[in-house]
Chains A and B, each alone.
Chain A
């Protein structure tokens, strides 16, 4: 029973957005264009979210990379009429079955984090991009919802590799593309169920908090706020 989770240290995060493009590259997220951008319909599995507090000149700001928060009690799953989004009890990952989704967008509205994305159009991908499609991740067509899956195709691969060698998954063998790419190591990924893992130690830090904790969704993405402290 793994509980895959992530800690993002905002002291180390420089909002360079390397995670964003790495994620999009890994997950075959279709490129946007000026038209989609103007319509606020670009698909982004990770969004940079600036949060402002106070007024000028005492403004405080923080910038958070926000992806699917992988809630332990996901509001999106409850409302799906066809089971296109599901919760993996053994891994704690909220998955999405593109071939099942009917595109009603109930989940996108039920998600308090607004991290679910919808394919308003067929992906406008130039033909030249097609050879660059990551074969591990299926391509979505118009009319379905998609979102961050913690790169669970990587988990499957890593698991297969471990099973082939007849051993358990080792820490660090499975990390999502964003964590792998983060240039400042601001993102730490691992098993929250393992009390000794780095991610679970960091999640207990006094700087740690989760988004909209009062909703009881129990997200598995933790943010360590800017400042000193363990």
Chain B
């Protein structure tokens, strides 16, 4: 980031003023919070007891069978890893692009990544017949297995995302340390002696700059590698080169949807309408629209090529999805992921907070169904007619899904209770410097022109999707 003009950076001791609203959730809790936590804990304990039951009895308590050897856990794994793309990747791209409107949303996005990735990995562990031998993956790991690639890339992604979440959190922790009196020991420790000096900011920005560049390829690799788990086999409709980018697009797609839902809840619960504004939802809605089209494009390409090629084994699976046992899932997915988003997002009138949230809910469901449609029909229709499987998840698997969601939301809620969910210093910094930064930037690439009126045209063209200043 250039410092052509004289920038002032926020100090942890700066008076917060109205931004106190961002700190309030960490110091005050009401009974509403405890009720939510209790409900979520109930969900978590449902999941935990289901898992204990499964471990004791065997994986037979799930709906999996022969040949449907993978079921909801693997679907959830792909789904959660997909959701995790909301955060780090989007935040990194927006930061890198210098999109000013990012300031209020990056934190909530990054937290999703870190929290949800745990459940992505967790679902793979739930799926193991022998979870007690989990560490064999490290002890006896064999690198030619795509599962090992997953292990590597997901752990790198988890580390990077955590660091990437933590770095911009440091100045905010320092604010909490200096201006609140709860958990002082924790904040003191985590703030790493942050005082907001210029040198510290310089280092922070350098580190963040490094991480945001690093995290993008890692994030892309994660979902590509997740797709490789399927694409590397020779099974019909898994063995496709399109799977890598298809999964990445789907991941970002579902990730944005999840982010919109999370933002709407935060905005409502903590009354942050002044920070998470309608325009954020509008912009994210536009992004979602782009992803909708991209997703459709990939889906269309995949299904058209499979159908046109007309290989019998492929077509068996194809028909199972389009017109067979799984057609209900398939067409619901199309409605959820394409028709509803197109209908609502393509008009600015309906691209409101409520509109985008509704769409996001549809997309989240639709993308879960997409994972189902990818995983199940292929293995349920093996090449040889030995067995034809049907898969219906059991209460154990549903409970685990409920448990995962509850646990994820619980962790998220707890995060908002410990740390500001909107980056305070970045808001402050934006308030102090953004306008000047934008003007500097425009100046930097402005074409010197004799006509003065071209200036405004250049400004409009130069603004990236929702370029700064309009808030």
Contact = CB atoms under 8 A, between A and B. Distances in A.
Interface residues of B, number: 42
Given A78-B145, A105-B129, 11 more contacts: A75-B233, A79-B233, A80-B142, A82-B141, A105-B70, A105-B127, A110-B233, A114-B387, A117-B66, A118-B129, A120-B65
26 contacts: A49-B386, A79-B146, A79-B233, A81-B147, A81-B151, A82-B137, A82-B139, A83-B140, A102-B128, A102-B130, A103-B59, A108-B69, A109-B235, A112-B235, A112-B382, A112-B384, A113-B384, A113-B386, A114-B66, A114-B67, A114-B386, A119-B129, A120-B59, A120-B60, A145-B129, A215-B234
Task: Find the residue from B130, B142, B147, B151 having the highest chain A CB count within 10 A.
Answer: B130
A211 interface: yes
A31 interface: no
B468 interface: no
A151 to B, nearest CB: 21
B466 interface: no
Interface of A: 36, 39-41, 47, 49-51, 66, 75, 78-83, 100-106, 108-110, 112-115, 117-122, 142-145, 211-212, 215
A97 to B, nearest CB: 10
B130 A101 contact: yes
A78 B59 contact: no
Interface of B: 57-60, 64-67, 69-70, 124, 127-130, 133-134, 136-137, 139-142, 144-148, 151, 229, 232-235, 379, 382-387, 389
A223 to B, nearest CB: 12
B317 to A, nearest CB: 13
B141 A102 contact: no
Given A75-B233, A114-B384, A102 B134 contact: yes
Chain B binding site: helix, strand, loop or mixed by DSSP?
loop
Contacts, number: 135
A103 B130 contact: yes
B394 to A, nearest CB: 10
Contacts of A215: 234
Nearest to B147: A81
B228 to A, nearest CB: 10
B129 A112 contact: no
A224 B393 CA distance: 41
Given A83-B142, A102-B136, A143-B129, A41 B147 contact: no
A118 B133 CA distance: 16
Nearest to A47: B386
B147 A79 contact: yes
Contacts of A212: 383-384
Given A83-B142, A104-B147, A66 B386 contact: yes
